[in-house]
């Protein structure tokens, strides 16, 4: 496979990729590289089979631990215009997430007494799924998302969405036109942000004085415990634990006043943040800090252990699938998730092992996956073809996908799970 690796440095808005020299939060440069996946394609850029694949981009994917504040992060930043302007992932592709966001909107409307006077701004609003729940419950809504292709998709749900990257500067423009927000949400967005300080300044610009910022993203504790190596990719610049987040918000005189652990996306956390407030830590924050300490997360050990297990998993998965192929079994992939694309590229598993991948998102169907170029088809093909095994690449939706495919399983089809360990169900 040709690896057209780009390793430029320079200004983010101009270069395809640039490299930060210091920690995103504490600006220290004591960064330890503990895991390298090598050169990987941006996992949401699905080529068409007739594209000139010679020019397919591959960018370095190396993970660092800040030995000062504890932030786990990437140093290489792929230009957000390449990754987000034309975005293929849509939230409404999974019922689990649609229902999850319905519950989030209901909770926030009740807890913070939101009504038709309150503005809710969702950063990274994608196809408007979360905001459509808010809209149904009363508050005014506004989406902000750099994906130009999703403006009309959100509009179909009655959601106004501005095609912008959220920065302090864009926050000022939004405030001028729409006023301040009582609630700002950012689900699976905060980890995508390169300049976290500017983003947080933008929150302060746009929030009312009693406003609340709610963020959700995968929790580093879950990533380490369940060896979720494939959730590491270019879009995810930070892998958050609580400790470095406290440093970040304190710097801006914001208070992390509550945290909830969530089952979504392999284990996430939801942060509740407001201006000022007492400096004391809430019990739930203290409890999570104790957990992180017990896991030794302020030392390099759990990260080095994680890397070792990731290389073992690669070896074991390749052997496992090759053995099945040697027995003449047909294997396909289920869910052309970004994470799946990383797993397949990291393990160098291509169409010689997985005949194809099925996926619910229409824009992915008819394309090939980045890097290893496996064709993507609609989900119905699974039952039509009855392959022996389906490798569950969208493992974060295991319950939903296993339930949906009862018929395939009843007829003898089997799923292969890879997280937390490789097993057949």
* Site residues, ligand TYD (CB under 6 A): 89, 93-94, 335-339, 359-361, 364, 379, 394, 396-397, 400-401, 404
Nearest distance, CB of residue 88 and ligand TYD, angstroms: 8
- Tokens standing for 134? 């808010």
- Tokens standing for 89? 């992932």
Instruction: Give the SS3 label for residue 59.
Output: strand
Nearest distance, CB of residue 2 and ligand TYD, angstroms: 24
Contact by Cβ (8 Å): 83, 235: yes
**CB-based contacts of 286, cutoff 8 Å, min separation 6:** none
Q: 285 vs 56, 108, 123, CA distance in Å?
A: 43, 20, 24
d(CA 418, CA 231): 13
**Tokens 């390298």 appear where?**
36
CB of 237 or CB of 288, closer to ligand TYD:
237
Nearest distance, CB of residue 27 and ligand TYD, angstroms: 29
CB of 258 or CB of 355, closer to ligand TYD:
355
CB of 254 or CB of 372, closer to ligand TYD:
372
CB of 24 or CB of 339, closer to ligand TYD:
339
d(CA 106, CA 137): 7
CB atoms within 10 A of CB 95: 13
CB of 79 or CB of 129, closer to ligand TYD:
129
Nearest distance, CB of residue 341 and ligand TYD, angstroms: 8
CB of 112 or CB of 334, closer to ligand TYD:
334
H or E element, residue 271: strand 268-275
**CB-based contacts of 65, cutoff 8 Å, min separation 6:** 31, 32, 34, 71, 72, 300, 303
Nearest distance, CB of residue 392 and ligand TYD, angstroms: 10
CB of 73 or CB of 365, closer to ligand TYD:
365
**CB-based contacts of 364, cutoff 8 Å, min separation 6:** 46, 88, 336, 376
Nearest distance, CB of residue 220 and ligand TYD, angstroms: 16
Spell 357-389 as b/e; 16+ CB within 10 A means b: bbbbbebbbebbbbbbbbbbbebebbeeeebeb
Nearest distance, CB of residue 91 and ligand TYD, angstroms: 8
Nearest distance, CB of residue 405 and ligand TYD, angstroms: 8
CB of 157 or CB of 404, closer to ligand TYD:
404
d(CA 361, CA 377): 9
């Amino acid at each position: 496979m040709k690896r057209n690796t780009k390793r430029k440095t320079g200004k983010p808005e101009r270069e395809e990729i640039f490299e930060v020299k210091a920690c995103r939060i504490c600006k220290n440069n004591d960064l330890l590289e503990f895991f390298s996946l090598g050169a990987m394609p941006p996992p949401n850029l699905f080529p068409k089979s007739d594209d000139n694949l010679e020019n397919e981009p591959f960018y370095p994917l190396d993970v660092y631990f800040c030995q000062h504040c504890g932030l786990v992060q990437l140093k290489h930043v792929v230009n957000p215009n390449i990754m987000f302007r034309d975005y293929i992932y849509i939230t409404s592709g999974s019922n689990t997430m649609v229902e999850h966001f319905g519950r989030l909107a209901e909770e926030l409307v009740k807890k913070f007494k939101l009504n038709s006077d309150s503005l809710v701004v969702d950063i990274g609003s994608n196809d408007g799924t979360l905001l459509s729940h808010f809209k149904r419950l009363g508050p005014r809504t506004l989406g902000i998302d750099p994906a130009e292709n999703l403006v009309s998709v959100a509009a179909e749900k009655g959601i106004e969405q501005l095609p912008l990257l959220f920065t302090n500067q864009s926050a000022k423009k939004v405030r001028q036109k729409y006023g301040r927000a009582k609630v700002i949400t950012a689900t699976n967005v905060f980890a995508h942000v390169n300049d976290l300080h500017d983003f947080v300044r933008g929150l302060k610009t746009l929030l009312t004085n009693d406003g609340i910022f709610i963020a959700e993203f995968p929790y580093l504790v879950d990533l380490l415990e369940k060896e979720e190596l494939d959730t590491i990719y270019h879009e995810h610049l930070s892998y958050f634990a609580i400790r470095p987040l406290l440093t970040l918000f304190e710097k801006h005189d914001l208070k992390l006043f509550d945290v909830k652990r969530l089952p979504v996306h392999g284990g996430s956390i939801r942060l509740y943040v407001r201006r000022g407030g007492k400096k004391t830590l809430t019990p739930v924050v203290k409890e999570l800090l104790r957990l992180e300490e017990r896991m030794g997360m302020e030392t390099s050990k759990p990260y080095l252990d994680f890397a070792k297990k990731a290389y073992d998993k690669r070896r074991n998965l390749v052997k496992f699938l090759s053995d099945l192929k040697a027995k003449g079994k047909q294997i396909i992939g289920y869910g052309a998730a970004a994470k799946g694309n990383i797993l397949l590229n990291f393990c160098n598993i291509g169409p010689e092992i997985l005949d194809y991948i099925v996926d619910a998102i229409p824009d992915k169907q008819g394309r090939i996956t980045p890097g290893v170029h496996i064709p993507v088809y609609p989900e119905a093909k699974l039952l039509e073809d009855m392959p022996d095994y389906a490798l569950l690449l969208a493992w974060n939706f295991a319950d939903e996908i296993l339930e949906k495919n009862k018929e395939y399983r009843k007829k003898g089809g089997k799923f292969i799970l890879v997280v937390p360990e490789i097993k057949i169900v």
